[in-house]
Amino acid sequence: MFRKVLLAYDGTVEGRRALRLGADVAFCMKSETYLLAICQSYLSSAIPEGVTPELARCEDERAQAILDEGVARLKECGVEAEGSLEYGNAADCISATAQRIGADLIVVGHRHRSRLARWWSESDEESLLERVRCSVLVAVATDE
């Protein structure tokens, strides 16, 4: 049913849950699997005088560690995956990658937020669901 699965991973608890669920789906369906590690860049919001080569190297190492962790977790589940690392807005990165690789399923995690947090972060941006032309599986955290 799903030939190519895109797993979006950011190293969070919700991301790990989505990774496990996505690995289960990919394993059962014998799907080609692609792991997209998404990181927010702290350098983009830093003052120019504060950006040093050391800071950039640390950010790159942190981001690469997220990708490596995701690939290792997938291997533990018996799933081989190709992957890449992107910086930026998750919806932008996920939708562009899904289109580029021809994904027919995207697996993402979800974090419940308070009403205040939702209000504070409201934006006029399109949601991921409005940007993609494939199925989206959302892994929701349980009270474990």
pTM of the prediction? 0.80
Residue 110 scores a pLDDT above 50: yes
Question: How far is it, in rounded angstroms, from Cα 39 to Cα 57?
Answer: 14
- More confident: 119 or 74: 74
- Structural tokens at position 67: 């990708």
Q: Are 141 and 15 in contact (CB under 8 A)?
A: no
Q: Give the tokens for residue 86.
A: 């992107």
> Listing from the earlier edge strand, what are the strands of the sheet with 82-87?
82-87, 32-39, 4-9, 105-110, 135-140
Local confidence band at 124 (pLDDT 50, 70, 90 cut-offs): very low
Tell me how far apart the alpha carbons of residues 58 and 107 are, in angstroms, rounded to a whole number.
28
**pLDDT tens digit string along 11-60?**
888 889 999 999 999 999 999 999 999 886 655 555 555 556 666 677 77
- Domains of the chain by residue range: 4-140
Mean pLDDT of the residues in the chain: 82
Percent of the chain predicted with pLDDT > 90: 46
The dotted CATH code for 4-140 is: 3.40.50.620
